[in-house]
Amino acid sequence: MKVEDGMFTVLKGSICAPTKSEWMPDARKSALIENDTLLEDVSCNSPSTAGWVVLGNANNGWTVWKNESGDSIDIYR
């Protein structure tokens, strides 16, 4: 994922887990995923929605996503 101007973008080529929920955000519903691989970038307005795209379920994106040093992105809030 990359973050620019307050948008959280899950990058094309990301591996995505199958969803385990009947409800999901529009970003996951409309994501083009084939053979568990994201076929195009998906822009999200929160890290939790970006997490939904790859994890396929609810999550706290501020603690799930990590920077290159392994710290949760919560440190940037």
pLDDT in tens, the chain (77 residues): 999 999 999 999 999 999 988 999 999 999 999 999 999 999 999 999 999 999 999 999 999 999 999 999 999 98
> Tell me, what's the pLDDT at 27?
97
What is the pLDDT at residue 21?
86
Q: What is the pLDDT of residue 73?
A: 96
Position 20 scores a pLDDT of 81
pTM: 0.92
Cβ neighbours for 20, distance < 8 A, ≥ 6 positions apart: 56, 57
Q: How is the beta sheet containing 42-44 ordered, strand by strand?
A: 2-4, 7-10, 42-44
